[in-house]
A and B are shown apart, each in its own frame.
Chain A
Amino acid sequence: MSLLEIENLSVHYGGIEALKNISFTVNAGEIVTLIGANGAGKSTTLKSISGLVSASGGTIKHNGEIISGLDTQQIVERGIVLVPEGRKVFSNLSVLENLKIGAYLRHDHAGVAADIERMYDLFPRLKERHWQMAGTLSGGEQQMLAVGRALMAKPQILMMDEPSLGLAPLIVRDIFSIIRKINEQGTTVLLIEQNANAALKVADRGYVLVTGEVMMSGAGHDLLTDKSVQDAYLGTSAH
């Protein structure tokens, strides 16, 4: 049994079918990536796992139990937490307040305090700037904060929606090394990216999403070297 099993998931926005019967699995301890062009349905997939959009068909199982239909609060309580697309930090609140909101559903005050220190270890920049309004941070720092905020919920599965979007290459490298570190510390990661190259390098397995359907899947390394994936997403083809 996989940690997360998505079976024949469909999502409609009005008349538009954004996801057409997609199926994939995430095993405990893995980094799994969904790659695909803009509009392929990557964000929709994560939002429906989070309960932010409701599915029109199919099931989502966590530890074998169906979680589709639960609301976001219950899904976060189960340990499935999303870092939304575009970071969405709380701009007019301090870094520290942002982190505290991440722990909103937790009631273990001592644990929360310890985790704030853990975030400061993981992201030293956030410690230096803990009193600063989140909106005044740089793009990379905001992404770190968005990840830190989600980690404050103590996720079993961390889902990240294009964490590298709009960041300078050097920062992107930092972000991916942090993703690896988080994974090594025991958190399962479901990562979606347009930056397929970086995502496939860090991922154990990957799925290629094309207009709402899973077209291909395999180990990260295999997809990275696959000719058709290279042509379509890695920009390494000759034309």
Chain B
Amino acid sequence: MLRSMTKKSTTLLNLTAVVVLVTLLYLLEINKNSFGMAVSILQKSVILSIVAVSMNLLNGFTGLFSLGQAGFMAIGAYITAIFSISSDTIDSVYYTSGLAPWLMSFKLGLDVFPSAIRILFGLLLGGVVAGLFAALIGIPVLRLKSDYLAIATLGFSEIIRAILSSPQMDQITNGSYGLKNIPGFAIESDFLPVGTGSLLVPFAIAALCITFMVMLIKSSYGRAFMAIREDGVAAEAMGINLLKHKELSFIVSSFMTAIAGGLLAMFMRSIDARTFQISMTYDILLIVVIGGLGSITGSILSAFLVTASKEWWLRFFDQPLITGGITIPLFRTGFRMVVFSVLLMVVVLFFRRGLMGNREFSWSALLSWPKRMPKAKKGANKRG
């Protein structure tokens, strides 16, 4: 009786999966030298999965379309970078105009805390600043039709990029030079193997962020978000305050996006404003659409699949291919992206609702999948 799986066995499966995952991640991260590619793809995937889930919270669950992901990530990335770069190396980073004195003294004040706390502070501050910007944009724009949010956030994202790289910001963002010497995820300790934390740290933060969003979606707030998505007038008639809930969803989504931006800065180790172009937002949008609007597990799965195929599985398309002395045309740098685009079109055409639709992953559905497709579907459909 797979479909009527008990709560106990589900918990057991979940626990086992977590233990296996943590062990695997740990083995990978302490052997980073042999598995460099895998580690970096997993890092990037898990970071993007936070952004994808945040975008899904807003777009898939609340029916609001924001295109500001790159901008909010930039806010998080810069703030995290500024607070996590060690004060000792800061002069070599801001080698042209130096860090603004007020910021420097603030940073020096924070140096009483261990670096993990400073990084956490940077991540949270980035989230809060992004959330404040979202609130400010939201007040006028969320009253209008939802298309306006897309336009406003797209503009916002570009303005943020322009501001970050402007010469007037030299003493804060290092202008167009960008920031480097950003610490990575690995925990530096004499007692732990080198590389510990490279994967477990970003995975743990992502798990926290995503769990928070899932809990929000499952709460009565989440039900209100979905009601607004389905029919604003009916939601309002039931006493749901439209503006308040749209603001909440937008603020939480932007907060989490900025956290992911901060993690991305730590992943990349050096950032500049060009990192956060519109194409980044576009990448996230693809992940969300491929995973299925309204499916959290779909977004997560898709973040890993898309990142791995872009950065890894499709790589060989970029290498010249020679069989039997003949060089097959097309196989050259950039061809990978063509193949990727074609794959994307196939997904959009044939899996119009994404890999998961609006369903969620469940063990019972997975285990009964080969035998009993339709029933598995039904089981997965029951949400909330």
> What residues of B have a CB within 8 angstroms of the CB of A100 in the complex?
220, 223
A188 contacts chain B at the CB level, 8 A cutoff: no
Docked Cα-Cα span, A72 to B237, in Å, equals 7
Within the complex, the shortest CB–CB distance from A27 to chain B, in Å, comes to 24
In contact, B223 and A97 (Cβ under 8 angstroms): yes
B240 contacts chain A at the CB level, 8 A cutoff: yes
> What residues of B have a CB within 8 angstroms of the CB of A97 in the complex?
223, 226, 384
Q: Write the B227-247 contact mask toward A (1 if CB under 8 angstroms, else 0).
A: 100110111111111000000
Docked Cα-Cα span, A94 to B227, in Å, equals 11
Instruction: Please give me the residue from chain B that is nearest to A46 by CB atom.
Output: B237
A220 contacts chain B at the CB level, 8 A cutoff: no
In contact, B240 and A90 (Cβ under 8 angstroms): no
* Complex interface residues of chain B between 332 and 384 (CB less than 8 A to chain A): 358, 381-384
Chain A's interface: helix, strand, loop or mixed, by majority?
Answer: mixed
Within the complex, the shortest CB–CB distance from B135 to chain A, in Å, comes to 20
B182 contacts chain A at the CB level, 8 A cutoff: no
> What residues of A have a CB within 8 angstroms of the CB of B231 in the complex?
88-91
The interface on chain B, measured as residues whose beta carbon lies within 8 A of the other chain's beta carbons, has a size of 22
> What residues of A have a CB within 8 angstroms of the CB of B238 in the complex?
76, 81, 101-102, 104-105, 149-150, 153
Chain A, interface size category, equals: 20 to 34
B79 contacts chain A at the CB level, 8 A cutoff: no
Instruction: Please give me the residue from chain A that is nearest to B223 by CB atom.
Output: A101
* Complex interface residues of chain A between 30 and 60 (CB less than 8 A to chain B): 50, 52
Q: Which of A52, A102, A153 contacts B236 (CB 8 A)?
A: A52
Instruction: Please give me the residue from chain A that is nearest to B227 by CB atom.
Output: A101
Within the complex, the shortest CB–CB distance from A86 to chain B, in Å, comes to 9
Docked Cα-Cα span, A93 to B241, in Å, equals 19
Within the complex, the shortest CB–CB distance from B6 to chain A, in Å, comes to 20
Instruction: Please give me the residue from chain B that is nearest to A73 by CB atom.
Output: B239
> What residues of B have a CB within 8 angstroms of the CB of A82 in the complex?
237
Docked Cα-Cα span, A72 to B245, in Å, equals 14
A174 contacts chain B at the CB level, 8 A cutoff: no
In contact, B233 and A73 (Cβ under 8 angstroms): no
Instruction: Please give me the residue from chain A that is nearest to B384 by CB atom.
Output: A97
Within the complex, the shortest CB–CB distance from B162 to chain A, in Å, comes to 38
Given contacts A90-B226, A97-B223, are A76 and B239 in contact (CB under 8 A)? yes
> What residues of A have a CB within 8 angstroms of the CB of B227 in the complex?
90, 93, 101, 104
In contact, B239 and A72 (Cβ under 8 angstroms): yes
Docked Cα-Cα span, A100 to B219, in Å, equals 11
> What residues of A have a CB within 8 angstroms of the CB of B241 in the complex?
71-73
> What residues of B have a CB within 8 angstroms of the CB of A94 in the complex?
382-384
In contact, B230 and A93 (Cβ under 8 angstroms): yes
In contact, B239 and A104 (Cβ under 8 angstroms): yes
In contact, B230 and A90 (Cβ under 8 angstroms): yes
Docked Cα-Cα span, A84 to B227, in Å, equals 14
Docked Cα-Cα span, A70 to B239, in Å, equals 12
Docked Cα-Cα span, A104 to B234, in Å, equals 12
Q: Which of A75, A101, A150 contacts B235 (CB 8 A)?
A: A101
B224 contacts chain A at the CB level, 8 A cutoff: yes
Chain B's interface: helix, strand, loop or mixed, by majority?
Answer: helix
In contact, B234 and A72 (Cβ under 8 angstroms): no
A92 contacts chain B at the CB level, 8 A cutoff: yes
> What residues of A have a CB within 8 angstroms of the CB of B230 in the complex?
90-93
In contact, B237 and A50 (Cβ under 8 angstroms): yes
Docked Cα-Cα span, A97 to B227, in Å, equals 9
A77 contacts chain B at the CB level, 8 A cutoff: yes
Within the complex, the shortest CB–CB distance from B311 to chain A, in Å, comes to 34
A131 contacts chain B at the CB level, 8 A cutoff: yes
> What residues of B have a CB within 8 angstroms of the CB of A149 in the complex?
238
Instruction: Please give me the residue from chain B that is nearest to A87 by CB atom.
Output: B234
Docked Cα-Cα span, A89 to B383, in Å, equals 18
Docked Cα-Cα span, A100 to B234, in Å, equals 14
> What residues of A have a CB within 8 angstroms of the CB of B233 in the complex?
52, 84, 88
In contact, A104 and B240 (Cβ under 8 angstroms): yes
* Complex interface residues of chain A between 201 and 218 (CB less than 8 A to chain B): none
Within the complex, the shortest CB–CB distance from A146 to chain B, in Å, comes to 8
Q: Which of A52, A92, A93 contacts B237 (CB 8 A)?
A: A52
Q: Write the B85-115 contact mask toward A (1 if CB under 8 angstroms, else 0).
A: 0000000000000000000000000000000
Within the complex, the shortest CB–CB distance from B233 to chain A, in Å, comes to 6
Instruction: Please give me the residue from chain A that is nearest to B221 by CB atom.
Output: A104
Instruction: Please give me the residue from chain A that is nearest to B358 by CB atom.
Output: A92
Q: Which of B220, B294, B358 contacts A104 (CB 8 A)?
A: B220
Docked Cα-Cα span, A192 to B42, in Å, equals 59
28 contacts between A and B (CB under 8 A): A50-B237, A72-B236, A72-B239, A72-B241, A73-B241, A76-B238, A81-B237, A81-B238, A82-B237, A84-B234, A88-B234, A89-B234, A90-B226, A90-B230, A90-B231, A90-B234, A92-B358, A93-B227, A93-B230, A94-B383, A101-B224, A101-B227, A102-B238, A104-B220, A104-B224, A104-B227, A105-B238, A149-B238
List 15 additional A-B contacts (Cβ < 8 Å) besides A91-B230, A146-B234: A52-B233, A72-B236, A72-B237, A81-B237, A82-B237, A84-B234, A90-B226, A90-B234, A92-B294, A93-B227, A101-B238, A102-B238, A104-B220, A105-B238, A150-B238
